[in-house]
Amino acid sequence: MSHEGSTEGSTGGAASGPPNGLEAITKGLNPPQLEAVQTLDGPLLILAGAGSGKTRVLTHRIANLIATGRATPDQILAVTFTNKAAREMEKRTAALLSALRLPGASTGNTFGSGYSLRGRMWISTFHAIGARLLREHIELLDYKTSFGIYDSGEQLAMVKKVSAALGFDEKLHPAKNFASRINSVKTDGLMPDDVKKRRHLMDDQQLAVFERYEEEMKRANALDFGDLLIKTHQLFSDYPAVLDAYRSQFRYIMVDEYQDTNSVQYKIVRLLADGHKNLCVVGDEDQSIYSWRGADIQNILSFEKDFPETKVVKLEENYRSTQTIIGAATHVIRNNTQRKDKTLFTNNPTGEPIIVREESNEYDEARFVVNEISKLFRETDVSPEEIAVFYRTNAQSRVLEEQFRSRAIAYRLVGGMKFYDRMEVKDILGYLKLILNPSDDVSFKRIINVPARGIGKTTVERIEEISNSSRISMIEATTMAIESREFNSGTTSKLRNFLNLLLSLRDEARQVSLPDLSIAVVDKTEYAKRLMTESTPEAEARLQNLEELQNAISKFAEERGEEGHLQSFLEEMALVSDADDTGGEAEKCVTMMTLHISKGLEYPVVFIVGCEEGLFPSGRATDSNDPTEIEEERRLCYVGMTRAEKRLFMTYARTRKVWGSDQMNPPSRFLKELPKEGVVQQSAMGSRPRFLEKWGDAGSEYGPQGGSGHPLMKSGGSPFPDYENAVDSFDDTASSGPAFKKGLRVRHPSYGTGSVLQVEGTGADLKVTVVFADNTVKKFVAKYARLEKA
DNA sequence: CGTACCGACCTTTTT
DNA sequence: GGTCGGTACG
């Protein structure tokens, strides 16, 4: 932030550097940053701690590559993890180059005042790059250039179709399981033939579905997310001429967030970089949080082995956060074993203490967050867009939203339920997809009777059967069925009308612009008309969403000009997922998002809510007790904490409604891993002296902070209830936090209701013995058992 | 064939 | 508490 911004108008060239006032490129960089920016040839590994100016180094390095004449913008390939990061990097590089007034800087597409790299430099995600390359060359792999991209929902629909066609019962063999199995092998780059050689990866049924799935995807001329990478790799490995062309084009390659690359991405990078080895990867093993989707932390841990000549630069100075925050985050991540040796430090001021806050339930927790935010508005000059709230799961946003709304504080959600996840939007997109790609059976099934046109389930099933048995698309199957008089005259005429509708829309697509086409779809399908006759609030909202979609399409077409056609729009819809730049909404809003999405961002004030065992770390991680899963959760905690610049709040609730019933979870182990220094423990439930003993001497140097009117625990007090000893001090009538106590009536999701027989152990080891109605006696580890008060 | 209601299952995290 | 699939009825 403070170290940002490029300096203009410097004169004279550095001796080692290129001409034309290059101090702007090197100015204000610390020694390791400088080294990274000036190491241009050969393999380079940048271990960039959180907030160490990574993006700055990358953009300056790109500028340096261009300024030294090593490469023109289109000879640089920069891969980022999200589209947002790509845009950010592009913007900042362009600004820097424009400030340098480099020769050639004005030859690009220049919009307004800036130097634009759009269309010249390759900065985007692996998936987007794959899509772009495949658009160009996929005919080599026997697909059509108009291929569609299936998101996870469409992929699941396809798996369902296949699974049903093979006669699997959805109850016994949920398509979801097949889909996740398929995705898991595909992120490792494996296709059915590979799995045949590694039969431990799938059982016969899974393999059968996988094979048929691939066959059907091919016929539908559709690619899933995994395909975008796998086919790109296949293109390169099977067609050396293509590989050679791109090898010579991309003379310099950079990969950001390298710790989150999966094995296919790794192979693609290797193929491209193998000739010149001008490969720079940047990452931080402590921020690897995507192993569940195939990211392999080994890629970064063994980079030096893969490229023996590698130069390693460590960026360890953090410019973002206070010493307190860095100290605490470091203290937490130190508990991980899968790390490189890297120590984050900062020269920033000590700053305010971290507040750890106990609340009785998730509503109080949300109220606390909102109260603190109002207080910040009142007492400091913090503005809404400087505040972020992070949570582990999207479901947690609801309660927070309620509180924000009730206190009239503007907020925005990043990620989660996306605009184009809405039914009506997906319906219209379904039409658009089908127009472009008539073999897209998933879209066909989606819209054949939307809006309702009297084509029922039986008819659709019959069409699907024909499609399956003749291995033809459902559109073709429909035509065939009509010709062979499959259906009665009523159904036949409805089907004819539907096919004619599609034909006329395809006609339209050839003649009119993208925005006009989408208007035509809404129009000719009578989609909007039906909604208008409904005149319910829901229908009203849907109409508004359609309008919003129309606006998005118009905006897209306007921005992209020639490139703004149907295909590029659909591609963008499939690949851009962060619902981030929705107009000016970001202004004056508090931001809420999952911890995962927060990676790469920074905010002066950060709240991390729901710090409880079973939620964060997630239940999956705590249940499995797999140390690698816990370590990944811990990295997630580290990521979240290091987003904060000045203030950090971490909260937990004693009870929380999960799936409609109350659960009691102990505070997150990560809270226990915080240092004593610089952390203030607060509880909204009054002081409970017994808790204080456990935390020991401690004593923070900070005095108690005002806790929005709540009684405040003295710093040094343990927030971690020792349930057994705490029973007495809990006031069950005042707080909703029940403790296990002999005789307490409890309910278990599978065993029903019973009463507590015995309580032993403390904290995370607390065990509860319960006798149930049918006299069975069970002993639970309280932490894992989903016991609730009956 | 369409709609309205009931119950199962659900929760990680995302390109 | 919310979604999706299944079922019963109009």
What sign for the dihedral angle of Cα A252, A256, A259, A262?
negative
User: How much is the pLDDT for A421?
Assistant: 77
Query: Of the candidates A3, A111, A100, A117, which has an alpha carbon nearest to the alpha carbon of residue A51?
Result: A3
Q: CA A479, C1' C8: Å apart? A: 33
pTM, full prediction: 0.82
Nucleotide nearest to A657 (CA to C1'): C1
Q: Given the residues A287, A324, A346, A651, select the one marked as catalytic.
A: A287
Residue A256 bears catalytic tag? yes
Helices A489-511 and A474-483: crossing angle in degrees, nearest 10, is 130
Q: Poorest-confidence range of A23-32, A75-84, A129-138, A705-714?
A: A705-714
Residue whose CA lies closest to nucleotide B9 C1': A659
Which of A83-97, A397-411, A759-773 has the largest mean confidence?
A: A397-411
Residues paired with residue A355 on neighbouring β-strands, in sequence order:
A649, A680
- A240: exposed, middle or buried (C-beta count within 10 Å: 0-12, 13-18, 19+)? exposed
Closest nucleotide (C1' vs CA) to A490 is B1
Q: Percentage of residues in chain A with pLDDT exceeding 70?
A: 80
- CA A457, A462, A467 angle in degrees (round to 5)? 125
Residue ranges near strand B (C-beta within 7 Å): A 81-83, 125-128, 151-152, 225, 289, 292-293, 392-395, 415-416, 449, 452-459, 491, 575, 577-578, 593-594, 596-597, 618-621, 629, 658-660
- Quick one: DSSP state of residue A49? -
Transcribe A149-165 into DSSP letters: E--HHHHHHHHHHHHHH
Catalytic entry in A643, A656, A669, A783? A643
Q: What's the pLDDT at A503?
A: 95
Interface residues for strand C (CB within 7 Å) are A 170, 398, 659-660
Query: What DSSP assignment string belongs to A722-766?
Result: -HHHHGGG--TTTSS-----TT-EEEETTTEEEEEEEEES-GGG-
Mean pLDDT value across chain A:
82
| pLDDT on residue A752 | 56
Of A257, A359, A364, A633, catalytic: A257
Confidence of residue A768 (pLDDT cuts 50, 70, 90): low
How far, CA to CA in Å, does A194 sit from each of A179, A182, A186?
Answer: 17, 12, 10
Annotated catalytic residue A338: no
Please report, rounded to whole angstroms, the spatial distance between the CA atom of protein residue A741 and the C1' atom of nucleotide B11: 29
Answer yes or no: A626 catalytic. no
To the query of whether residue A257 is one of the catalytic residues in this protein, the response is: yes
A287 belongs to the catalytic site: yes
Query: According to the per-residue pLDDT averaged within each range, which of A15-29, A242-256, A330-344, A439-453 is highest?
Result: A242-256
- Residue A397's nearest nucleotide, by CA–C1', is B11
Question: Residue A554 burial (CB < 10 Å; 0-12/13-18/19+)?
Answer: middle
Distance in Å from B11's C1' to A352's CA comes to: 34
Q: Is the pLDDT of residue A674 over 60?
A: yes
Nucleotides of B under 7 A from a protein CB: 1-3, 10-15
Gap between the Cα atoms of A560 and A136, Å rounded: 19
DSSP string covering A472-533, please?
--HHHHHHHHHHTT-S-HHHHHHHHHHHHHHHHHHHHHHHS-HHHHHHHHHHHTTHHHHHHH
Task: Give the confidence band of A489 by pLDDT, cuts at 50, 70, 90.
Answer: confident
Name the active-site residue from A256, A424, A427, A631: A256
Nucleotide nearest to A417 (CA to C1'): B14
A379 among known catalytic residues? no
> CA-to-CA distance for A250 and A712, rounded, in angstroms?
59
Q: Is A252 in contact with A70 (CB distance < 8 Å)?
A: yes
Dmax (CA) of chain A: 88
Q: Residue A661, CA: closest nucleotide via C1'?
A: C1
Q: CA A168 to CA A26: how far, in whole Å?
A: 62
| Nearest nt (C1') from A399 Cα | C1
A719 preceded by a cis bond (ω within 30 of 0): no
A104-124 residue pLDDT tens: 443 333 333 344 444 478 999
Q: Which of A90-104, A589-603, A682-696 has the lowest mean pLDDT?
A: A682-696
- Candidates A55, A59, A396, A682; catalytic one: A55
Q: What is the pLDDT of residue A681?
A: 93
